[in-house]
Structure 1
């Protein structure tokens, strides 16, 4: 039974619901073909009361993390709304604890997401997150497709 649950949670393409409430639904899928040892959750599951979200991440990387670049692409109701690229680990003077971790070590972290302060109009959001293990962004180590459905305006 545990093996089946593990298979479902970490199979590429399997959807993981983060949360659902009267004003918000959050879920994600992997958009690459690699199975990942990865879990992510967020609380509270609302967007109207403007409290910051607390996120918890557990991940076992498949390569050493000397360089790490994250690229976010956000679409709102089918139109591209944001493109954001951030170098998280550059190999020197890195500020994140994940930087310098070795292949197979477990990353377990909690952090705040300030996005709950943004006024989101009602609609469907798709957030594609590409994570690369090098600066020229040629070695993608993970791809996540987040779906966020805002059920009422948060103004």
Structure 2
């Protein structure tokens, strides 16, 4: 299996390896100052045939998740390629299983990422994923610095 499953309590700055294959390397570090209990799994570990990546996350948040705003920034070979903001939980009609989770409660979520929507040219990608428990973006609950190296064009 190409995916690498792990469950860790790590210190900030320690790099965690997700997966490697002939066409893809994935790893991440936390970019905030507090250790997390966090598990992340991605399969298959490939860019071939524009896959649907199956992902699973297990996480114990430091705050209640009644409101959750995510900010997703992607840089490709040093140039900003994408900036995306999304409110996932607002306390009303939330559709995601993570919404309503309490501080210290284990969250387990699975979701698909559809690679067929995006073409990834060969190169190095730096992805910052931030989660905030307020709309003003002052109360950070998670920050990941994901490094993705695409080893061959996927057009």
Query: Which residue is equivalent to 1:63?
Result: 63
Q: Higher helix share goes to which structure?
A: 1
In structure 2, runs of 5+ residues without a counterpart are 1-5
Give how far 1:116 is off.
Answer: 5.0
The Cα shift of 1:115 comes to 3.1
Asked if 2 retains the 8 angstrom alpha-carbon contact of 1:53 and 1:116, the reply is no
Correspondence for 2:101: 101
Does the aligned pair in 2 maintain the 1:47–1:116 contact within 8 Å? Answer: no
Count of paired positions:
150
SS at match of 2:100: coil
- Change in 2 beyond 3 A, CA 1:30/1:130: same
TM-score (norm 2): 0.92
Cα distance in 2, alignment partners of residues 115 and 141 from structure 1 = 27
Whether the 8 Å CA contact 2:68–2:87 is kept in 1: the answer is yes
- Contact 2:24–2:45 (CA<8 Å) still a contact in 1? yes
Q: Which residue matches 1:13?
A: 13
Large movers: runs of 4+ above 4 Å: none
CA change 1:102–1:9 in 2 (3 A) is: closer
SS at match of 2:142: strand
